[in-house]
Structure 1
């Protein structure tokens, strides 16, 4: 039977196939993003929509067929063809909605979709109550077309789901066109496979004759309208979905920030109920989350320290009024300790109305402790806990301001420990720190009260602010009490150590009207005490100003003296009285000042020690003395040693032995002709001293103990260390003629040295009477003005060394 097609309806069938394919592929992306029951709802809706679209395209194509005879349709089979289309679409959508582009998934999805399209077509064809004979080659071709187009459409659909938004639109459109072509191509190829036989019409079978043209248009219009509504609904749904997703994502971000925030956060509504809190809030307060839940704000305020609760109520009232407030307060942790917190009350506003507030709390206990500690250290001495120089200056400024109206006087003292440097150098800084702590406690306990403030300015220097009225002021009692407290022996390392204190005193407003001038003048008075023998106090006077200026000038000149070669050595002979022979000379430094003339070491040696020049100066003395003695030996003088004093700082140099050996090699003097004079104060640290002295003695250098008897623990020094000679201090010789005690001490020293097989020499001999007493006591070697004052090198050679050579 010859058949023809209505081309307009053919076009409609293709448009419907494309439109339904595009709509469903667009819907598949939403189905793939959905989860749970929503996902299955999307798939069911899409399957119905796609199945109806495929069926509509097919049915319109059927109605486009013009046969010369009317044809009845079996409605049950029509409905069955719709079911096949919907089921195939559902299975295919379920595959592609999983977002997996594996070959198996695409092949399987293509087979399912092609089966649905083919099944729908041939079931629909069987609904026609007319004989149909199929050419099976075309049948296979129609199914192949359906499968190839379905596979290509599914691949494009997957690409659309995984691409960007712009690519996605074009790929879905391409997928719709291809899938529409699959439906149309399969249908019309299938129709080409069918041969209708009017002789085999089933007129006796039940069926319905359809009005082809108008029914096709109605189905096409209805389906297009349905697809249009679906696209609009899908777009609206997608917008809501995006909004919901954005809200959900934002909520997750907010919840993560809320839960993981290191600051404690409480959410409080207008009814003062705690409606939210994070783990940090429990950690800071020590209250578990079950206890905090749905509690009144008063429950939280009850853990605030009592003195802060009233202020907290006021601050929360302001916060609920819409004010953003930051403050600090203190709460009591559930374990009982106090926690300092920094708090922010941040109002929550909805539509311009305050609906509650966030309480954001940070534990700043440790930060506050560090801040307080840093502030404390900025104004206190870490070693002693006393106010430091900065704080003392501030207190001094406050005292000046308080006394400036009536010019009411108050006192400022500067205190310095005598001989502390020697202890610190000998024992090391650790024991020096312990010693300083003990001395500061003694001073503080002896005088400090609400009107007296003690501060440590640095090193062993302290300051005292006496804020008395004029009638109450008695600074001499304070000074004497401190001197007495410091003078007590200090037990350290199984030994007793003694120090004294020098104190300078200045008064406001007479000696200065600002902190700098007052401290400077008190410092000047303190140095006057040191110059005059130490262990005393002295008031500032204008005369001291001139001395201070002179001292500053001297310091400036001293720095340049070595460069200008202004130092010279004088030599004092050491004589064996019975043999009437010179047994050695002592090298003594002098400063040939260009304006002041020849200066004694008592004038500049203390300055050199304070300025850190003593090591360099001592090295120069040692080198010059060795050179001179070697020259005398070369000139034929007696082979006697030269005695050189070592300072404490020199003795404690790590490379002392190497330096001395180097100087001996440089000068050419044999080690046995160098005698180093040391003091007891240098040997307080037994381990260091024994090592240094042993190294010196091994080279052949002789060791002499100077000023013997004036220090402490002398007997233990004589027993421990390799000492060749003991030098009796001039302080015992001065009054030996009239003082029985000095004679006894000198006699004991001589006897002790003999038993220890040490040489003994007495210094400071000025009269025959002193010499005779020492001779009777057994001493044979002497040094002093009785024989000669210290002489320049050429006079020493002429008077003693050349004479000894010629004799």
Structure 2
């Protein structure tokens, strides 16, 4: 048997035994051959499809523009890959990951098209399960704080665009008498939901607190009408475990943008107003007023002092170790910015970073952090004590800036740090607008910088983005880690995140690991790395060297 015959036979064996479905067409797109996996995945035997075009598999979910872009990529680049929905012989519509390559002869003429695909239904089902668990309260099935935050950001943008106001209502509901709290809350939430519009967002916010977002209002009066309707809805008794139970309710109201720009600020204001309603009215509602907190003044003070701190270099970096799962060796270090102001004292990053993102200070702040962290890491490398990887958080606002990648490249050149030593973390919410992030992320990847999704499970990220973007690691959010062992739903979320990562070939680090029970659970479920107070908290550079540095060869 000749070498050509051997290779031909080998290729045929591979074709027939491949786990992926494979279809080969002529230049006109007519199917010439399919393998066994194609039949298993689609339900069509070879005799049903040979001589026909793959159009017979179309689900109807994609328009002409989708297929036009596909053929344009095949013509110009010789290949196309992506997520696509097709239809099995049974009529079932299913998602698949499809790669099509163009086969040409030496003259450049098209000989064949080869399509290779896998069924990704199970991955999408896991992702949908994760999304539902992560974004809804397990008791009431209402949106939780994570989904509420996403809804607020969208509503706030619409309010600014349309020059309308947005109201935030904090609703506290308590039973009159001793009854089980869980069934009471379910009954109360169902009653309140019937008195809200479909466009309103109604979420579980605390133990006995709900939060309502009301869009498109013209002023305080519209918010007060809704608050009054909710109070009247609870005047009639609720049916709880066969008993008639009366509820006491108090409502605090804040307005966007007058009372705050972030959900946290507005919720704090509404909570302060609700407390006033509880103290003064017992059953009623109150609007937030500036006298209740010093929010506006505090924000202006933080912005002014932060500008001065960046200009004067008055910030500092702390470093937190990242361990492999046995906890015996450091595999990375995350640089974290800290600020102690002479006037304000210790200012938490959650306060000043948000303000920096709003007013543009995030760009000089981010450059200061990178320059200082790069320089520190280089000095550790020179001493032979640097961990393998330096990790930094990158804001969505930084990625939006057109010269961000150039500024990173300039800092790499200035400090002499190796890009292969760097890992940039960004929040999952960044992926909601891939149009502007893809070029920046791909450019960073070409530089050799690793990319990871910080707080995975707290945002919406289409599966196609996770598969196509150059991501190497997922970070399980500390909110999920802290809940390990507290309820089955939370544990299921963590397991699902780890399952998605394994399917996509990504490493996973758990943030906020504080107890041995959490570490054991994560280790048993296949987590790769840990970060948290159990193994080491964030400390200044000198303390990091003293506590965690090891000589590396």
Could you state the TM-score of these two structures normalised by the residue count of structure 2?
0.53
2:153 and 2:290 map into 1 onto residues whose CA distance is 32
Contact 2:377 2:386 (8 Å CA) reproduced: no
1:544 and 1:525 map into 2 onto residues whose CA distance is 13
2:262 and 2:160 map into 1 onto residues whose CA distance is 22
Q: Deviations over 1:23-51 (max 9, x none)?
A: xxxxxxxxxxxxxxxxxxxxxxxxxxxxx
1:603 CA displacement: 2.0
Matches within 5 A, 1:94-133: none
Structure 1 residue 523 and structure 2 residue 258: aligned? yes
Change (3 A) 1:574 1:745: same
1:584 and 1:752 map into 2 onto residues whose CA distance is 23
Contact 2:318 2:541 (8 Å CA) reproduced: yes
Contact 1:726 1:760 (8 Å CA) reproduced: yes
1:777 and 1:696 map into 2 onto residues whose CA distance is 31
SS at match of 1:631: helix
Structure 1 residue 669 and structure 2 residue 423: aligned? no
SS at match of 2:227: helix
1:620 and 1:663 map into 2 onto residues whose CA distance is 10
Residue 747 of structure 1 is matched in structure 2 by 495
1:689 and 1:461 map into 2 onto residues whose CA distance is 29
1:715 CA displacement: 2.8
- Structure 1: unaligned runs, 5 residues or longer: 1-416, 426-431, 449-459, 481-502, 507-518
Change (3 A) 1:566 1:680: same
Contact 1:765 1:771 (8 Å CA) reproduced: yes
Q: Deviations over 1:697-731 (max 9, x none)?
A: 11110001111011113533311211011101111
The structure that has the greater radius of gyration is: 1
1:554 CA displacement: 2.2
Structure 1 residue 476 and structure 2 residue 227: aligned? yes
Residue 329 of structure 2 is matched in structure 1 by 581
1:671 CA displacement: 0.2
Residue 765 of structure 1 is matched in structure 2 by 513
Q: Deviations over 1:316-342 (max 9, x none)?
A: xxxxxxxxxxxxxxxxxxxxxxxxxxx
1:523 CA displacement: 2.2
1:616 CA displacement: 1.6
Residue 56 of structure 2 is matched in structure 1 by none
Residue 272 of structure 1 is matched in structure 2 by none
1:667 CA displacement: 1.1
1:754 and 1:654 map into 2 onto residues whose CA distance is 33
Alpha-carbon RMSD across the aligned residues, in angstroms, is 4.0
Match of 1:642 among 379, 382, 390: 390
1:545 and 1:535 map into 2 onto residues whose CA distance is 11
2:380 and 2:215 map into 1 onto residues whose CA distance is 46
Contact 2:253 2:270 (8 Å CA) reproduced: no
Residue 798 of structure 1 is matched in structure 2 by 546
SS at match of 1:563: helix
2:291 and 2:411 map into 1 onto residues whose CA distance is 44
SS at match of 1:773: helix
2:159 and 2:301 map into 1 onto residues whose CA distance is 36
- Structure 2: unaligned runs, 5 residues or longer: 1-147, 169-195, 200-213, 232-251, 274-286
Change (3 A) 1:718 1:658: same
Change (3 A) 1:695 1:766: same
Q: Deviations over 1:606-631 (max 9, x none)?
A: 22122221122112112211111111
Q: Deviations over 1:726-774 (max 9, x none)?
A: 1011111111112111211211211221222211100011111111111
Q: Deviations over 1:245-292 (max 9, x none)?
A: xxxxxxxxxxxxxxxxxxxxxxxxxxxxxxxxxxxxxxxxxxxxxxxx
2:311 and 2:228 map into 1 onto residues whose CA distance is 47
Residue 294 of structure 2 is matched in structure 1 by 546
Q: Deviations over 1:354-404 (max 9, x none)?
A: xxxxxxxxxxxxxxxxxxxxxxxxxxxxxxxxxxxxxxxxxxxxxxxxxxx
Structure 1 residue 609 and structure 2 residue 357: aligned? yes
Structure 1 residue 465 and structure 2 residue 219: aligned? yes
SS at match of 2:319: strand
1:540 CA displacement: 1.9
Change (3 A) 1:627 1:473: closer
Matches within 5 A, 1:154-553: 446=197, 464-467=218-221, 474=225, 476-477=227-228, 505=254, 523-524=258-259, 529-530=264-265, 538=273, 539-541=287-289, 543-553=291-301
Contact 2:167 2:253 (8 Å CA) reproduced: no
Could you state the TM-score of these two structures normalised by the residue count of structure 1?
0.37
Residue 318 of structure 2 is matched in structure 1 by 570
1:689 and 1:535 map into 2 onto residues whose CA distance is 34
Contact 1:708 1:729 (8 Å CA) reproduced: yes
SS at match of 1:523: coil
1:531 and 1:568 map into 2 onto residues whose CA distance is 30
SS at match of 2:259: helix
Contact 1:576 1:582 (8 Å CA) reproduced: yes
1:704 and 1:666 map into 2 onto residues whose CA distance is 24
SS at match of 1:705: strand
- The structure whose residues are more often helix, as a share, is 1
Q: Deviations over 1:765-799 (max 9, x none)?
A: 11111111111101131001111221111111111
SS at match of 2:353: helix
1:649 CA displacement: 1.0
